[in-house]
């Protein structure tokens, strides 16, 4: 099948439909009120990232290719539709819901007079220290640079002039909690005092604006050492070209056009917004404690198969353990690294780190290990988008503590989530491996749903050691008598061809009249050749079920069903199940089926051999395929469609029911 002729949904529209599903959770019956506020915040944060990462490509295509202008227009129309829905849900559903709880969020209205003294004192004693009021000279060369995603008020003055003042939400809380449960935007506390910032002229009106700038800057554009390249990139990113100039819809057209000319904003970059921008800050809304407005507490379960009184490293030598976070405690992963750092028989530790927690206990354990005389080698991916600065900070700290730091691979990102611990016990060595679908990050592990395998399987640990040799030396497995990857699937080596072989094997079974089934769970599905293989398998009679959280360029058709789950936790695991003539093959790993994952990254997928772990994965995936509450089915146009549910049928919620299932293990 020709890749150029296969039907595909637009990548960006598919992602926008995913984000709309996030938004729709803010008015989904059964979602507690405070959680609805969080979904509004997540939607806004996601959309900001879209403008930083994807909009530059759409704008470039718009300028270079006449035929591609429809992609930009379609995305802009969908975003406008979603923002209208956002405003409706926020003002007609969430704010009234807060009022029913006795919480008043002032939204475009003046606060009650009894709050004026407190607002005045906070303005003069605190806010004023961070303000930079400026009079603009519109029509003359630009003198003011608008910082990326920073908030500003454009002020129309009675003398015909125009002022601008920053809203310092990066230094101060975005919301002021007033007496009782009244809450005021920081923006409005500043609006109330504009006559002090621009004295003796009078204030006619004020409108909020912000500029989002291009975040996609290739480190190959810079010369010098990789660490310095990335540090330079972080500075360059904040100076990137605008991709969106967001302005209050109430702003007069003449003023908008003057500002666009002054700040050098092209027409496709203009975007209408509301009175308030950066509503991702809603995650910090100072709400009073109310258990009824939040999801029920779900403390992580312990793994009953693990004896807390014995060494975890010893127990992994006896059997595999498959952990399901956040349903089960992440403490086991922390303990794995802590034991490795202090066990006198551990000699070597190897780890890949993609997104490091800001207060990483894992990084501290690795530093302790090095200071305890162990050989510790850590591959830190410096090019993990938006985590570069934090990763650099930790890389420098670990290096200073004696950890050997590997700074990425030219032209590739290391996205694998793997660790290897080597112990010398007398004359013998034993190896244990930790292979995961998610980052070694205890902060995100609280709300990312992932799977983690602890194993001593000899073939897996040997091949993992080969991967670390490659990352340190560039010597590829298979050269100089090194063994090949046979069990691990590693992008850049065998991952793509192995998955294609597995899909084709199912297609061959179907053509021969044998049962054939593929079940795959991914975050994103976009790579054309993999989609073509799935189409061909479905045409041969293979039954295919896909669970795709975000981007899905595959068009559902006969034999291929696609569903999406958006709920309390972020579905982050990648799982691959092939019927294989009744001898199922089950893999997990870090790799989505995107061009970047399959062709520009080091990814690791790994087989699950332990019978108990295999059954657990199958049971959890079965719950996700049966979800009829928060799951949706993707239509042929990638839009979200409700899962059919017969009257009286019990509600199945995959995340709720997975938690109950895991607690019984």
543-548/517-522 β-pairing: parallel
Instruction: Identify the sign of the CA torsion 452, 441, 354, 431.
Output: negative
Q: How far apart are CA 345 and CA 430, in angstroms?
A: 10
Alpha-carbon distances of 532 from 476, 536, 546, 665, rounded to whole Å: 29, 6, 14, 39
Report DSSP letters for 554-576, one per residue.
Answer: BPPBTTEEEEEE-SSSEE--EEE
Instruction: Evaluate whether 27 touches 89 at the Cβ level (below 8 Å).
Output: yes
The reply, when asked if residue 355 is annotated as ligand binding, is yes
User: What is d(CA 234, CA 391) in angstroms, rounded to the nearest whole number?
Assistant: 12
Burial code of 109-119, b = ≥16 C-beta within 10 A, e = fewer? eebeeebeebb
CA-to-CA dists, residue 430 to 44, 339, 346, 377, angstroms: 48, 15, 9, 18
555 with 534: CB under 8 angstroms?
Answer: no
What φ, ψ does residue 242 adopt, rounded to 5°?
Answer: -65, 140
**Residue 106 structure tokens:** 């002032």
Residue 457 bears catalytic tag: no
581 within 8 A of 511, measured Cβ to Cβ: no
- Please give the structure tokens belonging to residue 449: 């749903």
CA distances in angstroms from 421 to 341, 461, 531, listed in the order given: 10, 9, 37
Answer yes or no: is 120 a known binding residue. no
Q: What is the DSSP string of 54-73?
A: THHHHHHHHHH-GGGHHHHH
CB 564 within 8 A of CB 21: yes
572 has binding-site annotation:
yes
List Cα–Cα distances, 646 to 139, 183, 544, in angstroms: 64, 43, 23
Extended beta strands in 72-227, E state: 104-105, 134-136, 151-157, 162-167, 175-177, 182-185, 203-213
* Residue count of the chain: 665
Angle CA 202–205–206, to nearest 5: 115
| 17 marked among binding-site residues | no
Note whether 631 and 643 are within 8 A (CB).
yes
- d(CA 548, CA 538) in angstroms, rounded, equals 17
DSSP codes of every residue in 492-554: TTTHHHHHHHHHHHHHHHHHTT---EEEEEES-B--HHHHHHHHHHHHHT-EEEEEESS-B-B
Look-up: residue for tokens 């079974």? Answer: 509
The total of other beta-carbon atoms located within 10 Å of residue 64's CB is 8
Q: Name the catalytic one among 17, 277, 324, 415.
A: 415
Lookup: tokens for 149 = 């995603």
C-alpha to C-alpha distance for 235 and 240, rounded to whole angstroms? 9
416 to each of 208, 223, 351, 497, how far by Cα in Å? 42, 26, 10, 18
Which structure tokens are listed for 632? Answer: 């949706």
- Residue 508: HSE in the Cβ half-sphere, 13 Å Cα cutoff: 8
Binding residues: 46, 355, 385, 448, 549, 572
Active site residues: 415
Binding residues for Mg(2+): 355, 385
């Amino acid at each position: 099948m020709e890749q150029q002729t296969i039907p595909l949904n637009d990548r960006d529209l598919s992602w926008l439909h995913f984000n709309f599903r996030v938004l729709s959770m803010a008015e989904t019956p059964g979602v507690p009120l405070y959680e609805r506020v969080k979904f509004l915040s997540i939607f806004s944060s996601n959309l900001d990232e879209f403008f930083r990462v994807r909009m530059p490509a759409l704008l470039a295509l718009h300028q270079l290719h006449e035929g591609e202008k429809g992609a930009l227009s379609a995305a802009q129309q969908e975003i406008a539709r979603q923002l209208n829905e956002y405003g409706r849900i926020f003002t007609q559903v969430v704010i009234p819901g807060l009022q029913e709880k006795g919480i008043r969020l002032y939204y475009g209205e003046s606060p009650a007079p009894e709050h004026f003294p407190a607002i005045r004192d906070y303005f003069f004693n605190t806010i004023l220290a961070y303000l930079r009021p400026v009079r603009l000279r519109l029509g003359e060369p630009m003198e003011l640079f608008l910082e990326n995603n920073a908030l500003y008020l454009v002020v129309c003055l009675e003398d015909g002039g125009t002022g601008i003042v920053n809203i310092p939400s990066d230094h101060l809380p975005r919301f002021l909690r007033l007496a009782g449960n009244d809450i005021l935007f920081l923006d409005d506390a500043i609006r109330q005092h504009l006559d002090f910032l621009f004295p003796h002229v009078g204030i006619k009106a004020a409108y909020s604006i912000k500029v989002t700038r291009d975040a996609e800057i290739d480190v190959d554009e810079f010369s010098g050492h990789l660490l310095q390249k990335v540090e330079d990139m972080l500075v360059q990113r904040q100076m990137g070209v605008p991709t969106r100039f967001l302005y209050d819809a109430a702003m007069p057209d003449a003023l908008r056009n003057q500002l666009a000319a002054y700040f050098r904003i092209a027409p496709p970059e203009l975007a209408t917004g509301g009175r308030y921008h950066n509503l991702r800050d809603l995650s910090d809304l100072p709400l009073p404690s109310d258990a009824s407005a939040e999801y029920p507490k779900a403390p992580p379960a312990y793994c009953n198969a693990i004896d807390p009184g014995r060494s975890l490293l010893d127990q992994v030598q006896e059997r595999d353990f498959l952990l399901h976070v956040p349903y089960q405690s992440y403490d086991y992963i922390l303990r794995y690294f802590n034991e490795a750092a202090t066990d006198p028989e551990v000699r070597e530790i190897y780890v890949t780190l993609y997104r490091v927690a800001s207060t990483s206990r894992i990084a501290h354990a690795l530093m302790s290990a090095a200071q305890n005389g162990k050989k510790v080698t850590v591959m830190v991916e410096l090019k993990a988008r938006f985590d570069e600065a934090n990763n650099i900070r930790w890389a420098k700290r670990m290096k200073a503590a004696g950890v050997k730091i590997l700074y990425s691979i030219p032209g590739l990102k290391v996205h694998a989530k793997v660790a290897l611990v080597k112990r010398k016990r007398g004359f013998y060595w034993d190896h244990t491996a930790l292979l995961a679908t998610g980052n070694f990050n205890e902060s995100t592990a609280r709300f990312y749903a992932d799977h983690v395998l602890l194993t001593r399987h000899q073939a897996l640990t040997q091949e993992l050691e080969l991967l670390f040799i490659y990352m340190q030396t560039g010597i590829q497995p298979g050269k100089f008598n090194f063994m090949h990857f046979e069990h691990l699937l590693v992008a850049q080596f065998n991952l793509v061809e192995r998955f294609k072989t597995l899909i084709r094997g199912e297609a061959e079974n179907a053509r021969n009249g044998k049962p054939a089934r593929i079940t795959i769970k991914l975050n994103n599905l976009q790579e054309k050749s993999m989609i073509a293989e799935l189409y061909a398998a479905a045409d041969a009679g293979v039954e295919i079920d896909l669970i795709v959280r975000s981007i899905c360029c595959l068009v559902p058709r006969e034999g291929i069903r696609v569903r999406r789950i958006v709920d309390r936790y972020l579905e982050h695991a990648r799982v691959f199940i092939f019927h294989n003539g009744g001898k199922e093959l089950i893999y997990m790993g870090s790799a989505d089926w995107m061009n970047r994952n399959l062709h520009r990254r080091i990814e690791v997928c790994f087989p699950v051999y332990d019978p108990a772990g295999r059954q657990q994965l199958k049971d959890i995936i079965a719950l996700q395929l049966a979800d009829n509450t928060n799951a949706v089915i993707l239509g042929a146009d990638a839009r979200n469609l409700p899962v059919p549910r017969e009257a009286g049928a019990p509600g199945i919620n995959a995340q709720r029911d997975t938690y109950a299932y895991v607690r019984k293990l």
